[in-house]
Chain A
C-alpha cells in the first residue's frame, strides 16, 4: 500500500503545512478551546479538591500506639540506626554484639543504617505514624528532642519494665529523669552526646579555645569558627556562656542568645553552621575552632594529634540518642529484649569502646578497662563526677515553642 509521504512536498509547501497546524486559525481556536475547557475543569475540580485536602491532626490519643505483639511467633526484629553507631568486628562486616544477641535469644535482627538526620528521618516515618500504620521498624534511635516529639504525638509504645531488668537497674542517674520522659516509660538512651568546644592547635597557633565568648569574640578566629546547625546545641552552649540555665530559660533568654550569635554572624566571625561535615574542615584547619560533638572529636584525635577539645567553665550541653519502639511495631517484646541486652555491662562496654560516646550504663568501667585502659579513664566516654556536674540538658519544648524557636534559628542560619 502506498503511503502518503510528506517528503515529496517542496520546502515552502511543508512550511505552509506546519503554519496551518501551529499558527492557523482553525488549529488555534480548537486548541484554545481545549485549553480553556481544561482550565475551567481544573479550576472547578481544583477548588473542590483543594478544600477537601487538609492534613488531619498528627496527635494520637489513648492506647492507639499499642499493637498486637507478634514477638513470640516471629522471632525477629527490625532495627533502624544511624551509621557508625554499632560495633563492627575485625573483618569490618560482622557485628559482634548483635550476633551474640541472636545466638543467645534466637531473635534474628534485621539491622538497617537508614538514619542520617533527625529531621529527614522524621519526614520519612511521619506519614505512616500519622496514619496509624506500622513503619516496618520495631526499634529506632533518635535524638532526645525528636524522641520527645514522637512521645508527645503518641507515636511511641510504652515499654514493659518486666522485660527490662538490666536497663532499669543499670541506667546512669544522669539519664534517669529527662523532663520529656520522666522515669523512662517510653525510651532508653543508646548514648549520651556531650557538646564541647573543639579546636585545631595548628590553626589557632597553639592557643587554647575554651569558651563560647572566645569563639564569638576572638578576632584571631575571625571567619574560622563554626557552630552546629542543631539549634539546641548551639543555642544551649550560648545560653550557658551567658550564665543562663538551658534547663529553665525564658523566651527573652532565648532571644538574647540568638541575638548574641547573630552578632557573630554579622561580624563574619562565624563561617558556617554545620552538621557532621565540620569534622573534615576542622581537621584541615579551614575551621580553627568550633562547637562540636565529643564522639566525633575522639575519633578525629586518633588520626590528627592537633585536634584538641575543651570543656567550657560555664558547662556544656549533653543530649542523648534514644531507643524507641514506634507505634504499631509488630515485635515489641523482642525489641525490649534487645534494649535490655545492651544494658548488660559487658555488652555496653563492647559497644562504648567502638562508638566512643558517653555510655549511659552504670558499672561498665571495669569491663571497658579490660578492652582498653585509656578509654575507661576518658571522661568523654565515662564522665567522672566533676564532668557530670557540668553537664546540662536543654529543656523540652512545647509544640508552639518548638516552631517559634526553630523559625528564629532558621533565620539566624540564613534559611
Chain B
C-alpha cells in the first residue's frame, strides 16, 4: 500500500481534546461493553467450560462424576451415533436448500413487486411465529395425515411411488418418513430465510435494474449479474440462520419422524435426560458444535462475502 493512499489528516480544528481524551473518557466504551461481556461470560463462556469439563468426566449420577480426562467418550459417541450426525446435516442441508428455493422468489416479490401490499405480506410471513413452535409442528401431522387430502393427491399422481423408490417416503404414507421431517424443518425455518433475503433485496437500487436493461441485459442476465450478487449477504445470513438451528433441532424429527429419522438433537436429549449419561451428551454437543462451525466457516470462505446483513 503506497503512502499516498493514506487518508488525509483530520482538520486541525478538531483540536487537542480529541487527541488527549481523559482516562474517564477512554474507559467509557468499556463500561458500556461491560453488561454484554458479563452476559457472555455467565451465559456462554462458563457453560462452555462446564460442558467441556463434563465431556471428559466419568462416573454415575449416584456416585458422582469426576474429571478423568476420558477423551474416549468423544470417539465412542461418534462411533455409536454417526448415522444421526450424517442425517442431521443431510436433513438440515436439504431443508436449507428448499428454504432458499421457496424463500428467494417470495422475498423478491415482496421487495420489488408487492407495492402497497408489502407490509401485509411481511406480516403474513411472520404471522406463524405468533403460535407456538410445537403447535405448528403438530399441525403438520394433520396436514400430512395418511388419509388426508395431501397424501391422497400425491398418491393419485403417483408421486409417492417415486419418493418411496428414493427412500424419502414409506409405501403410501408421508408421516413418519424422512420427507415429513424435511417438510417440517423447511416450514419452521422458512421465515428465517425470507427476512434476511428481503432486507438484502430491498436495499438494491431499482435504477440498477434499469441501467442493466439500458445496457441490453436480458432479465435473466440482470438477475444473474446484478440482483443475485447484490443479495449475497442475505443469502449467506439466511442459509446460516436456517442451517444452524435446523441441524440441532429435534422436535420435527421427534413428532413427524420415526425411529430411522432421529436427528442428533434427539440423541443428546435422550442421553442427558433418560440415560443420565452426561459426559456422552456433552461430548455429542461439542462434536455437533465443531461440525457446524467447520461447515459454516468453509461456506463463508467460499461464498466470498464479508457482510452478513
Q: Do A and B bind each other?
A: yes
Residues of A within 8 A of B (CB): 1-4, 9, 12-13, 16-17, 19-20, 24, 46, 49-59, 119-120, 122-123, 152-153, 223-224, 265, 268, 270-273, 277, 280-281, 284-286, 399-400, 403, 406-407, 410-415
14 pairs, CB–CB < 8 Å, chain A vs chain B: A1-B13, A3-B14, A4-B18, A16-B6, A16-B7, A123-B272, A270-B259, A280-B138, A285-B146, A399-B61, A407-B275, A410-B270, A415-B266, A415-B270
Bound complex: CA of A53 vs CA of B67, how far in Å?
Answer: 7
Residues of B within 8 A of A (CB): 1, 5-8, 10-11, 13-15, 18, 49-50, 52-54, 56-57, 59-67, 80, 84, 138, 141-142, 145-147, 170-171, 173, 175-176, 255, 257-262, 266-267, 269-278
- Find out whether the CB atom of A120 lies under 8 angstroms from the CB atom of B273: yes
- Find out whether the CB atom of B53 lies under 8 angstroms from the CB atom of A403: no
Residues of A near B64 (CB, < 8 A) are 54-58
Q: What's the A-B contact tally at a CB cutoff of 8 Å?
A: 139
Bound complex: CA of A3 vs CA of B15, how far in Å?
Answer: 10
Residues of A near B7 (CB, < 8 A) are 9, 13, 16-17
- Find out whether the CB atom of A410 lies under 8 angstroms from the CB atom of B274: yes
Given contacts A2-B11, A56-B64, contact A285 B266 (CB under 8 A): no
Given contacts A46-B52, A271-B176, A286-B145, contact A13 B5 (CB under 8 A): yes
Residues of A near B258 (CB, < 8 A) are 271-272, 414
For residue B261, which residue of chain A has the nearest CB?
A414
For residue A407, which residue of chain B has the nearest CB?
B275
- Find out whether the CB atom of B13 lies under 8 angstroms from the CB atom of A51: no
Contact check: which of A13, A49, A122, A412 meets B273 at CB < 8 Å? A122
For residue A411, which residue of chain B has the nearest CB?
B80
Residues of A near B175 (CB, < 8 A) are 286
- Find out whether the CB atom of B275 lies under 8 angstroms from the CB atom of A406: yes
Contact check: which of A52, A265, A285, A403 meets B147 at CB < 8 Å? A285
Contact check: which of A54, A123, A412 meets B57 at CB < 8 Å? A54
Contact check: which of B57, B138, B259, B272 meets A265 at CB < 8 Å? B259
- Find out whether the CB atom of A119 lies under 8 angstroms from the CB atom of B49: no
User: Shortest CB–CB separation between residue B236 and chain A, in angstroms?
Assistant: 18
For residue A270, which residue of chain B has the nearest CB?
B259
Residues of A near B142 (CB, < 8 A) are 284
Given contacts A50-B56, A53-B50, A406-B275, contact A286 B146 (CB under 8 A): yes
Given contacts A2-B13, A286-B175, contact A58 B262 (CB under 8 A): no
Residues of B near A17 (CB, < 8 A) are 7
Given contacts A119-B274, A415-B267, contact A55 B54 (CB under 8 A): yes
User: Shortest CB–CB separation between residue B160 and chain A, in angstroms?
Assistant: 13
- Give me the 4 closest cross-chain CB pairs, A-B, nearest first: A57-B64, A53-B53, A414-B259, A414-B262
For residue A49, which residue of chain B has the nearest CB?
B49
For residue A280, which residue of chain B has the nearest CB?
B141
User: Shortest CB–CB separation between residue B267 and chain A, in angstroms?
Assistant: 5
Bound complex: CA of A386 vs CA of B38, how far in Å?
Answer: 65
For residue A413, which residue of chain B has the nearest CB?
B259
Bound complex: CA of A272 vs CA of B141, how far in Å?
Answer: 13
For residue A117, which residue of chain B has the nearest CB?
B273
- Find out whether the CB atom of A50 lies under 8 angstroms from the CB atom of B53: yes
